[in-house]
Amino acid sequence: MDPILIIGIAVVAAVGVIIYGVISVRSERDIIEERLGRYDEQNSSFLQLDEIVAEEPEQTSPKDSALRDRLDNIFAERTFGKRWRAQLARADLKLTVSEYAALHVISTFGFFGAGYFVLFGQQLAPALLAAFVGFFAPRIYVARLTSTRLIRFENQLPDTLGLWVNALRSGYSVLQSMEAIARDAPEPTSTEFKRVVQEVQLGIDMEDGLAHLLTRVDSEDLDLVITAVNIQREVGGNLAEILDVISHTIRERIKLKGEIRVLTAQGRITGYVISGLPIILALFLYGINPTYMGNLFENRACGWPLLGIGLALIGIGFAVVQKIVDIDI
C-alpha cells in the first residue's frame, strides 16, 4: 500500500475530527436557546426568560466559542448553508450548519476507510465509491427524518384541527387553543405548536411564529390552515367554522393520497429494485470472483468511465421512475 495514501487519509481524518470537536462545543447562547426549547407540559404559564438566563451555563472556552461562531457565520451566509439550516429544522435535528458540514467530512472518510481497509481489500475504486455514498449519507438520513416527520404531522393535522375547533368553541382564544394543542397533541405536532406558543409569549408576532412553523413543516395543508388563521385575524370571522371545513378537506385529501400511494406502490418498488439490482449484483460478483470483476474497478482508462456512466444512468432512471409515480393532488 502506498505510504503517501495512508498519510493523506490519516491527516484528513484527523483534521475532520478536530474540526468537529471544536465546532461541537456548545456556547452560552446555544445553551440558553436549548433551554428555551424546553416547555413544561404540566404548567401552561409563560416561560420566564430571566429565570432561564439566571441558570449558570457550562463554561466554554472563548476562543473555541469564537471559532465555532465564525465557522457558523461563514457557512450560514452561503446558499447551501441556508438550505441546510432549513433541512435540519424540518428534521428537528439539534445541529448547526458547521456541525452538519463536519458530519459530511467525517462520514465521507469513514466510509472510504471502511471500504478501503475492510470491505474491498485495499481496492481504490470501490473505496472511492463508498466515499461517494458516505458524502451523501447524512443528507439521506436527514431527508428520511424530514419525510417521516412530515407524514406524521400531516396525518395528525385533521385531529389537531378538531382539537383546535373544540377549544375555540369552548371560549379559548387562538393562543390558548394552540397551547391546548401543545399540551394534548402527540409528537411531532405538540413540539411544533409548543415552539409557536413560546415565540408568541416571548414577544414575537403570531403571524411570524406561524410563518416559522410553516418553514419547519413544509406542508401544503398546514399552509392552508395558517393562511386561514392570518386572514381571520385581519378581517374577522368564525375561525372555528373555517377550521372545521378545512379539517374535512384535509381528511379527504389524506384518504385520496393513501389510495394513490397504494396504486403507485408497484411502480415505486420497481424503481428501487431496478436501481439497486445492478449495484448489488456487481458487489456480489466482486465478492465471489474478484479476478473477474477486478478489471472493471482497476482499469482507469476503461473500467472507471464505464462505472461512472452506469451509475449516472441508474440515477437518471431512478429519478424518472420516481417522477412518474409522484402524483400531485
More confident residue, 282 or 56: 282
Report the percentage of the chain scoring pLDDT > 90: 1
311 pLDDT higher than 60 = yes
Mean pLDDT, range 45-54, rounded to an integer: 36
Sign, CA torsion 25/27/31/36: negative
17 pLDDT higher than 70 = no
The amino acid occupying position 70 is: R
28 pLDDT higher than 70 = no
Give me the chain's average pLDDT, please.
76
What pLDDT band is residue 130 in, cutting at 50, 70 and 90? confident
32 pLDDT higher than 80 = no
The amino acid occupying position 30 is: D
Mean pLDDT, range 190-210, rounded to an integer: 89
Alpha-carbon separation of residue 288 from 112, 271, 274, 284, 285 (angstroms): 21, 26, 22, 6, 5
How far is 188 from 111, CA to CA, in rounded Å? 32
Render 171-197 in DSSP notation, one character per residue: T--HHHHHHHHHHHSPTTHHHHHHHHH
Report the percentage of the chain scoring pLDDT > 70: 74
The whole-number pLDDT of residue 294 equals 75
What pLDDT band is residue 20 in, cutting at 50, 70 and 90? very low
- Cα 76-143-247 angle, rounded to 5 deg: 105
Residues 134/112, Cβ–Cβ less than 8 Å: yes
The amino acid occupying position 245 is: V
What pLDDT band is residue 12 in, cutting at 50, 70 and 90? very low
What pLDDT band is residue 69 in, cutting at 50, 70 and 90? low
The whole-number pLDDT of residue 52 equals 36
Cell numbers describing residue 51: 429565570
What pLDDT band is residue 5 in, cutting at 50, 70 and 90? very low
Q: Residue 60 belongs to what H/E stretch? A: none
Angle of helix 220-235 relative to helix 239-263, nearest 10 degrees, comes to 170
The whole-number pLDDT of residue 233 equals 84
pLDDT digits (tens, 9 = 90+) for 232-262: 888 877 888 888 898 888 888 888 888 888 8
Highest mean pLDDT among 62-66, 178-182, 232-236: 178-182
Computed on alpha carbons and rounded to an integer, the radius of gyration of the chain in Å comes to 25
More confident residue, 57 or 227: 227
1 pLDDT higher than 70 = no
pTM over the 0.75 mark: no
More confident residue, 63 or 224: 224
